[in-house]
Amino acid sequence: MNSYNIESVLCQLDIPQKIIEYNVIDRSREDEDRFICIVKTDNNQSYVVKFYKNNYDTIEKVNGWAKLAIIYKQQQINVPEFKKFSDGNYAILKEFEGKEYLIWVEDYLSGKTLDDLNLGEHISEKLFEQLGKYLGRMHTAAKDKNLKFNWNSAWVLFDKFCKEDEFDENYLNAYTLYTELKKMSVNHDILEKIWKNYNEIRERIKIGYDILPNGAIQGDLSTNNILVDTNHSLCGIIDFNIGGNDVFVNHMLQEGIFLAYWSDDFWNTEEELLEMEGKLSKFLEGYCENYKLSHEEKEKMNDLYQIIRPFRMEKVYPTIRIAGEASIQEVNKRLDWIYSEMQKPFTIKSSASALL
């Protein structure tokens, strides 16, 4: 993308701007073209212009995210403001070099991401509490406004994120683990127990799940979307592009577990695990200050934990890979851990427990 491409987009905003400088970040993947342009204009304003080509984002979705961002900002939650085009939408479709892109413009938020600062595995308990408070306010804001989307978030259970998906991500992870390892010389007894137990837990969760509080969510508290200031305190959240509708308690646990237990290693020391548990507790403590969990939501938390924690993709797919390398003893050890984690009661520290 060049300045001409970007200016051709900005001129369709309600208030056209002239570019002074810009930087293009190419985050394209095999299944998606993604160009993020950081732009400074002649009125000393900075914007993010996004050019996306994938099979799941649409103008309707961007319009929805823009509405959700407005609700967040009304609650002093620092997220980007989406800019409206002259046709009244917050996104346009425009062709460049034979490809049609979905394009939208957001205000640029200052601050460093956790990835910028290499803090992904070193998030403090204080920041976890701040993140929990932020997410609690975000869920409460959407709940109070009864804002719901007609599409799902990437965390959704019992449905699909996009129409090409065969399953929800959590089920896909468990199903892939089972079907791939079943072909190999692993401990099939424990593998069958895992699969049986997984499906039993899913069935329990499904009872009454469709009437749990749900609504529009930002959907992606990844370390590259969390902004902090010079004191490493939370100062903003960016990137809505996998946001959608979801059950709030599911989304909260998915994000909290993902962030608290993230590690490049499959195995962690007892000290590391205690630290991770403490971070999740702080996240829950902050969340419950700003979002009141119902009795029905609390009842689902144990079962949700038992299928989320052991079936994260960073646990599942490396395990399948090493089985293909004939590391069967290590795979069996990991299967034992997965099964034990599915039996383990979801416990949190007393400070967060008191709020629940």
Q: What is the CATH number of the domain that holds 213?
A: 3.90.1200
> Which residue in this structure is represented by tokens 């508290």?
221
Same domain, 281 and 135: yes
C-alpha to C-alpha distance for 100 and 309, rounded to whole angstroms:
38
For the beta carbon of residue 331, count every other beta carbon within 10 angstroms: 23
What pLDDT score was predicted for residue 349? 61
Same domain, 147 and 19: no
Q: Provide the domain limits for residue 283.
A: 113-355
pTM of the model: 0.94
Structure tokens at 265: 């290693």
DSSP state letter for 110: P
Q: Which of 93, 68, 94 is nearest to 80 (CA)?
A: 68
Q: Using the 3D structure, point to which of 76, 109, 142 is the last residue of a domain.
A: 109
Structure tokens at 67: 């509405």
Q: Please state whether beta strands 19-26 and 99-107 pair in parallel, antiparallel, or not at all (unpaired).
A: unpaired
Q: Using the 3D structure, point to which of 109, 138, 165 is the last residue of a domain.
A: 109
Same domain, 94 and 117: no
Same domain, 292 and 254: yes
Contact 90, 13 (CB under 8 A): no
Cα–Cα distance list, 22 to 7, 36, 44, 85, 206 (Å): 11, 10, 12, 20, 48
Q: Which of 120, 81, 107, 76 is nearest to 235 (CA)?
A: 76
Q: Using the 3D structure, point to which of 89, 109, 129 is the last residue of a domain.
A: 109
Give the count of domains, the chain. Answer: 2
Cα–Cα distance list, 13 to 10, 60, 82, 105 (Å): 5, 17, 11, 9
What pLDDT score was predicted for residue 348? 67
> What does the angle CA 26 – CA 32 – CA 38 come to, to the nearest 5 degrees?
30
C-alpha to C-alpha distance for 244 and 61, rounded to whole angstroms:
8
- Residue 271's contacts (CB-CB under 8 Å, 6 or more residues apart) are none
Side-chain half-sphere exposure of 324, counting CA atoms within 13 A: 8
What pLDDT score was predicted for residue 17? 76
Contact 1, 35 (CB under 8 A): yes
Each of the 356 residues of the chain gets a pLDDT tens digit; together they read 678 788 889 889 877 778 999 999 999 988 899 999 999 998 889 999 999 999 999 999 999 999 999 999 999 999 999 999 999 999 999 998 899 999 999 999 989 999 999 988 889 999 999 999 999 999 999 999 999 999 999 999 999 999 899 999 999 999 999 999 999 999 999 999 999 999 999 999 999 999 999 999 999 999 999 999 999 999 999 999 999 999 999 999 999 999 999 998 999 999 999 999 999 999 999 999 999 999 999 999 999 999 999 999 999 999 999 999 989 999 999 999 999 999 999 876 655 665 66
C-alpha to C-alpha distance for 229 and 188, rounded to whole angstroms:
50
What pLDDT score was predicted for residue 18? 84
Same domain, 83 and 119: no
Q: Which of 148, 2, 132, 11 is nearest to 67 (CA)?
A: 148
Q: Which of 160, 155, 169, 145 is nearest to 243 (CA)?
A: 155
Q: What is the dihedral of CA 35, 41, 45, 49, to 10 degrees?
A: -20
Side-chain half-sphere exposure of 345, counting CA atoms within 13 A: 4
